[in-house]
C-alpha cells in the first residue's frame, strides 16, 4: 500500500518575518535584519526535491484541512488558541510569546492547517487508504504545550493528531518518537501523566529548550515510565543515533506495542545544521527510518505517520528528508547523497564512550514501559 504525502503552499506562507537568525533586528544591539532561521526556504526546497526526484509520483497526495476547534481543544486551552489568533490578526503579525516564535499575519490559520493536515493523514492511514505518510507542515509543533507557544511552534500538531486517533479512529495506544535535535518538551508535557501515549525524544543534550529533556524526566502519576529521553552529547553522529535506536527506541516500542507510531521528523541533527552540533548524514536518516518502518510493520500494520519539525541547512536538509521519505515509501530515486563524499571523513566517527554512557542511562528505564 502507498505512502501519503501532505503539503500545501500555505505552509510556505507562514511568515517568520525579519530577524538576524533568531533575534529581532536591533541596530543598537548590532543585530541586522535578515531572514529568520525558521523561514520557508528549506521547506520549499524539500518539496521541490521530492517533486524533482520523481518520488512525488509514487506518493498519494492528501489535501490538508484546518484542524477543527474540537480537535485543537483536545490539546490546547481556549486561551492559547485565542492568543495565537489575536497575534495573527495584528497588522504585521506578532510573536507567540518567547520572542523568537514569530506569528505572521494569518499564521493562525496556517498553524491550524498544519495540525489538520497531519490529523487528516492519520485518518487516511487508519482507514487503510495509505499505509504510512509524511506531512511536510509549517509551522512546527513539538515545543508547543497546552497553554503556550515557544521555539517557533504555535500548536502541537502531533499531539492534536494523537488525540484525534484515540478519540475518533479506534487507535488507543500511541507512541511518539521525536528525532528533532531539540527536545520535544511540549509533546512530553502534554502526555506526561498519560500512560496511553509513550513519548520518546532523542536530542542534543542542553540544546533547546534550556534545562529540558533530562533522562530523569520519565513521566508522572499514571504516566510514570511513559516519557523517555535520550539526551546525546554534542558531536554524536551516525553510530550514536543508531545505537540509541537499538538500545532505547526499538525495545521501548516493542514493549509498548502501539496502535500507531507518530514521528516528529526534524532533520536538524544533520552534520551541517546551524542550530545544533550533531553529525547525522542522509544515510543515518535512511537507516533510522528503515528501523521505524520495520517496527511499525511488526507492531501496528505499518502505521507510521511523520510530521515535519526542524532542519535549518537549506542545501542538506532536502537530501536528508528525501532519504527518509524514500525509505518510508519503500522505494528509491537512485539519487545519491551529493554531499556523501564531503562528510565521509568527518561524520564517520565510531560510537564514543560518553555517548554509550548517555544511551545506557536511558536504556535502564525501558523496562518501566509496559
Positions annotated as catalytic residues are: 143
> What is the number of residues in the chain?
370
Looking at the Cβ atoms of 142 and 238, the one nearer to ligand 6DK is 142
Number of residues that bind Zn ion (CB under 5 A): 5
The burial of 211, by beta-carbon neighbours within 10 Å (0-12 exposed, 13-18 middle, 19 or more buried), is given as exposed
Q: What SS3 state is found at 87?
A: helix
From 123-131, 139-147, 227-235, 346-354, span contacting ligand 6DK (CB under 6 A): 139-147
CA gap 167, 173 in Å, rounded? 11
CA gap 225, 199 in Å, rounded? 10
Looking at the Cβ atoms of 53 and 313, the one nearer to ligand 6DK is 313
Q: Does 182 interact with Zn ion (rule: CB under 5 A)?
A: yes
Q: Does 148 interact with ligand 6DK (rule: CB under 6 A)?
A: no
Indicate which single residue of 74, 80, 142, 163 sits in contact with ligand 6DK (rule: CB under 6 A): 142
Indicate which single residue of 143, 148, 164, 319 sits in contact with ligand 6DK (rule: CB under 6 A): 143
CA gap 166, 196 in Å, rounded? 9
Q: Which residues of 33-60 are buried (b: 16+ CB within 10 A; e: fewer)?
A: eeebbbbbebbbbbbebbeebebbebbb
The burial of 178, by beta-carbon neighbours within 10 Å (0-12 exposed, 13-18 middle, 19 or more buried), is given as buried
Q: Does 320 interact with ligand 6DK (rule: CB under 6 A)?
A: no
Indicate which single residue of 103, 149, 153, 215 sits in contact with ligand 6DK (rule: CB under 6 A): 153
Minimum CB separation of residue 236 from ligand 6DK in Å reads: 17
CA gap 7, 341 in Å, rounded? 31
- Could you say which residues in the range 265-304 bind ligand 6DK, by CB under 6 A? 266, 268, 275
**Which residue carries 529581532 as its cell?**
24
Per-residue x/- track, 164-193, ligand 6DK (CB under 6 A) = ----------------x-x-----------
Catalog residues that contact Zn ion under the rule CB under 5 A.
180, 182, 266, 268, 310
Catalog residues that contact ligand 6DK under the rule CB under 6 A.
22, 100, 140, 142-143, 151-153, 180, 182, 208, 210, 266, 268, 275, 309-310
Amino acid at each position: 500500500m502507498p505512502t501519503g504525502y501532505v503539503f500545501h503552499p500555505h505552509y510556505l506562507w507562514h511568515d517568520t518575518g525579519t530577524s538576524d537568525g533568531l533575534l529581532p533586528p536591533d541596530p543598537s544591539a548590532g543585530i541586522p535584519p535578515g531572514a529568520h532561521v525558521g523561514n520557508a526556504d528549506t521547506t520549499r526546497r524539500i518539496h521541490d526535491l521530492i517533486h524533482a526526484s520523481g518520488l512525488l509520483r509514487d506518493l498519494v497526495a492528501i489535501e490538508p484541512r484546518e484542524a477543527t476547534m474540537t480537535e485543537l481543544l483536545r490539546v490546547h486551552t481556549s486561551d492559547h488558541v485565542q492568543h495565537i489568533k489575536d497575534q495573527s490578526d495584528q497588522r504585521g503579525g506578532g510573536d507567540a510569546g518567547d520572542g523568537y516564535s514569530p506569528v505572521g499575519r494569518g499564521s493562525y490559520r496556517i498553524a491550524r492547517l498544519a495540525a489538520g493536515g497531519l490529523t487528516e493523514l492519520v485518518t487516511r492511514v487508519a482507514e487503510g487508504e495509505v499505509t504510512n505518510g509524511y506531512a511536510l507542515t509549517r509551522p512546527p509543533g513539538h515545543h508547543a504545550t497546552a497553554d503556550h507557544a515557544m521555539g517557533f511552534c504555535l500548536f502541537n500538531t502531533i499531539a492534536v493528531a494523537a488525540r484525534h486517533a484515540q478519540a475518533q479512529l479506534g487507535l488507543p495506544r500511541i507512541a511518539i518518537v521525536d528525532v528533532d535535535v531539540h527536545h520535544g518538551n511540549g509533546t512530553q508535557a502534554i502526555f506526561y501523566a498519560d500512560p496511553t501515549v509513550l513519548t520518546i525524544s532523542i536530542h542534543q543534550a542542553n540544546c533547546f529548550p534550556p534545562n529540558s529533556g533530562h533522562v530523569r524526566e520519565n513521566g508522572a502519576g499514571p504516566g510514570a515510565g511513559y516519557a523517555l529521553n535520550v539526551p546525546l552529547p554534542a558531536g554524536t553522529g551516525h553510530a550514536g543515533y543508531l545505537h540509541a535506536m537499538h538500545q532505547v527506541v526499538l525495545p521501548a516500542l516493542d514493549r509498548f506495542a502501539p496502535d500507531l507510531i507518530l514521528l516528529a521528523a526534524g532533520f536538524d541533527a544533520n552534520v551541517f545544521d546551524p542550530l545544533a552540533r550533531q553529525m547525522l548524514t542522509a544515510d543515518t536518516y535512511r537507516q533510522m527510518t528503515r528501523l521505524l518502518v520495520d517496527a511499525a510493520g511488526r507492531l501496528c500494520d505499518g502505521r507510521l505517520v511523520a510530521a515535519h519539525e526542524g532542519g535549518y541547512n537549506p542545501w542538506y536538509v532536502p537530501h536528508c528528508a528525501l532519504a527518509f521519505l524514500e525509505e518510508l515509501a519503500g522505494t528509491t530515486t537512485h539519487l545519491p547523497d551529493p554531499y556523501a563524499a564531503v562528510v565521509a571523513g568527518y561524520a564517520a566517527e565510531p560510537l564514543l564512550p560518553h555517548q554509550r554512557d548517555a544511551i545506557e542511562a536511558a536504556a535502564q528505564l525501558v523496562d518501566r514501559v509496559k
